[in-house]
């Protein structure tokens, strides 16, 4: 399918870039063009931010029930277009179409959940020791610049938009150029919701190095919501620093999965392999380091490899496919570089996924990995599993925390009390017991250290991140 020349959505109108320039988007599997998108520049950001600023007062003052109904109606509209968006995700991003329907329906759920939460934004009264009454009220931040990643495009853009506007903010959304058509089709769906006022959501397309950075530095932007690499997050923080914007940032991870001798091996293999190879490992929450107790190491590895070998790598439009291509040739080369570094550093490549053409890499597994290796310390963001053996509990917990990231972790044991006790020692934003990370509309998500800044995304807590607390003081003295 060819989508032709798409337009940006600013102030409720379809517009080209001020410069008239466009850029092509391609089918990630075949390399064939599927459409063009406007190449936005700073002038287009100014226009989008101005539209959001103009729409903000009326949207913020709308009664919560009315705003909630509009946000919920967006979710209903997304459901009607779920198959189309899953197809576009397969073309532009490479996630198999029959799998992409899951996060696409999850995108609708993001709006439904945010709509429900928006009716229950509560402040509180602070007890007073004088003749004053103190109240804290939750209020919207203002204009939000939302910058989203390419690895789960529709779900993550919908999550940020839903939470920010449900709290009463207006926004400007920018996604990576790889996902430009996905975002502009999202704009078409939003345009169908007649009750949504013009300018509440504005969507622009173009290079992050130009317009993403400018959005973060823009004096009329009050908050930046960003999901992406830690390196890009640092750049966003630097751009936002002069104007002291509020930041909500979910960044990278190198996540430990710690398996104890009494772990249910079959269950652990099923869940961990799914999260490792789903979306070709292009997920910040995927298992980054496996720590397997020596008593079950061989059995776990045998079952894990058997599971991985049966995954089908191929055309994302084929219903039999488990893994499509990586998102781009640039990212393919990056992941291949990590595999080559693992071999060079002396790790044992027990399953080699480098046997495919184009941008495809199959399941890849390393053993004999040591802490000095690049594949052990850095986020690979690909279908590469890093296996380590352990025998001493205190030592493995130290190794699990010995990293600059702090996103998520999982502990696998039948002793739940012990798992919870150990979880307190993990320096992460989330951890799971006999499960790995599972992102849902109702569940807050985010990390610490170099994995996140500004709190959680998702759930009611995620909605609160797009608000400020306003202090109200009332004098109770009788004149």
Summarize pLDDT for 113-168 with one digit per residue, the tens.
999 999 988 889 998 888 899 999 999 999 999 999 999 899 999 999 999 999 99
pLDDT at 313 over 80: yes
Tell me, yes or no, if 250 is annotated catalytic. yes
Upper half-sphere CA count for residue 458 (Cβ side, 13 Å): 18
Report the pLDDT value the prediction gives residue 195, as an integer from 0 to 100: 97
Whether 267 and 338 map to the same domain: the answer is yes
Whether 235 and 280 map to the same domain: the answer is no
Whether 412 and 424 map to the same domain: the answer is yes
Whether 278 and 411 map to the same domain: the answer is yes
pLDDT at 251 over 90: yes
Question: Whole-angstrom Cα distance, residue 32 to residue 407?
Answer: 36
Of residues 396, 388, 342, 383, the one with CA closest to residue 367: 388
Summarize pLDDT for 57-82 with one digit per residue, the tens: 999 999 999 999 999 999 999 999 99
Whether 395 and 459 map to the same domain: the answer is no
The CATH number given to whatever domain includes residue 245 is 3.40.605.10
Out of 105-119, 178-192, 377-391, 448-462, which region has the weakest mean confidence (pLDDT)?
A: 448-462
Average pLDDT over residues 305-310: 97
Whether 271 and 156 map to the same domain: the answer is no
pLDDT at 208 over 90: no
Report the pLDDT value the prediction gives residue 13, as an integer from 0 to 100: 97
Whether 311 and 369 map to the same domain: the answer is yes
The confidence band for 328, taking pLDDT boundaries of 50, 70 and 90, is very high
pLDDT at 445 over 70: yes
187 lies in a domain?
yes
1 lies in a domain?
no
42 lies in a domain?
yes
446 lies in a domain?
no
Report the pLDDT value the prediction gives residue 400, as an integer from 0 to 100: 97
pLDDT at 252 over 80: yes
The CATH number given to whatever domain includes residue 411 is 3.40.309.10
Report the pLDDT value the prediction gives residue 357, as an integer from 0 to 100: 83
115 lies in a domain?
yes
Q: Which domain holds residue 107?
A: 8-251+452-471
Question: Whole-angstrom Cα distance, residue 192 to residue 175?
Answer: 21
The confidence band for 439, taking pLDDT boundaries of 50, 70 and 90, is confident
Summarize pLDDT for 31-52 with one digit per residue, the tens: 999 999 999 999 999 999 999 9
Report the pLDDT value the prediction gives residue 292, as an integer from 0 to 100: 98
Report the pLDDT value the prediction gives residue 1, as an integer from 0 to 100: 60
Q: Which of the residues 92, 97, 112, 250 is marked catalytic?
A: 250
Whether 73 and 148 map to the same domain: the answer is yes
204 lies in a domain?
yes
Whether 347 and 264 map to the same domain: the answer is yes
Summarize pLDDT for 5-27 with one digit per residue, the tens: 899 999 999 999 999 999 999 99
188 lies in a domain?
yes
The structural domain count of the chain equals 2
Whether 309 and 180 map to the same domain: the answer is no
Average pLDDT over residues 216-237: 95
Whether 315 and 360 map to the same domain: the answer is yes
Q: Which of the residues 284, 379, 457, 465 is marked catalytic?
A: 284
Of residues 22, 19, 99, the one with CA closest to residue 315: 99
Average pLDDT for the chain: 95
Contact predicate 280/359, CB 8 Å: no
476 lies in a domain?
no
Sign of CA dihedral 186, 198, 466, 227: positive
pLDDT at 455 over 90: no
Whether 242 and 199 map to the same domain: the answer is yes
């Amino acid at each position: 399918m060819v989508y032709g020349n798409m337009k940006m959505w600013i102030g409720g109108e379809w517009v080209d870039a001020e410069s008239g320039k466009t850029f092509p988007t391609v089918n990630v599997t075949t390399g064939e063009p599927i459409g063009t998108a406007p190449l936005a520049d700073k002038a287009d950001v100014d226009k989008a931010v101005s539209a959001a600023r103009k729409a903000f007062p009326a949207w913020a003052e709308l009664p919560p029930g009315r705003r909630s109904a509009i946000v919920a109606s967006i979710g209903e509209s997304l459901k009607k277009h779920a198959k189309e968006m899953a197809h576009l995700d397969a073309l532009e991003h490479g996630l198999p179409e029959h799998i992409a329907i899951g996060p696409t329906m999850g995108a609708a759920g993001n709006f439904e959940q945010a709509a429900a939460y928006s009716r229950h934004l509560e402040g509180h009264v602070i007890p007073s020791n004088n003749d004053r009454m103190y109240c804290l009220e939750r209020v919207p931040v203002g204009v939000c610049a939302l910058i989203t990643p390419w690895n789960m495009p529709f779900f993550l853009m919908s999550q940020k938009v839903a939470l920010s506007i449900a709290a009463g903010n207006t926004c400007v959304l920018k996604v990576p150029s790889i996902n430009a058509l996905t975002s502009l089709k999202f704009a078409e769906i939003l345009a169908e919701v007649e009750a949504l006022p013009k300018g509440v959501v504005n969507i622009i397309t173009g290079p992050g190095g130009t317009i993403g950075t400018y959005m973060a530095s823009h004096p009329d932007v009050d908050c930046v919501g960003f999901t992406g690499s830690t390196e890009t997050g640092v750049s966003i923080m630097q751009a936002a620093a002069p104007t002291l914007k509020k930041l909500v940032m979910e960044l990278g991870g190198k996540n430990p999965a710690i398996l104890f001798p009494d772990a249910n091996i079959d269950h652990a293999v099923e869940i961990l392999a799914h999260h490792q190879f789903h979306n070709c490992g292009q997920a910040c929450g995927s298992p980054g380091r496996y720590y397997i107790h020596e008593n079950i190491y061989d059995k776990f590895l045998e079952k894990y490899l058997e599971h991985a070998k049966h995954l089908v790598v191929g055309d994302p439009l084929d219903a039999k496919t488990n893994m499509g291509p990586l998102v781009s040739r640039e990212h393919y080369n990056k992941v291949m570089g990590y595999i080559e570094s693992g071999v060079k550093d002396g790790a044992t490549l027990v399953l080699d996924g480098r046997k495919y053409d184009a941008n495809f890499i199959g399941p890849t597994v390393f053993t004999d990995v040591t802490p000095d290796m690049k594949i052990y310390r850095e986020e690979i963001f690909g279908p590469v599993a890093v296996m380590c053996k352990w025998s001493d509990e205190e030592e493995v917990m130290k190794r699990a925390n010995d990293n600059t990231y702090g996103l998520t972790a999982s502990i696998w044991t039948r002793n739940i009390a012990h798992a919870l006790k150990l979880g307190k020692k993990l320096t992460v934003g989330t951890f799971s017991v006999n499960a790995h990370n599972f992102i849902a509309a109702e569940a807050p998500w985010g990390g610490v250290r170099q994995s996140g800044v500004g709190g959680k995304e998702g759930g009611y807590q995620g909605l609160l991140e797009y608000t400020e607390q306003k202090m109200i003081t009332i004098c109770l003295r009788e004149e």
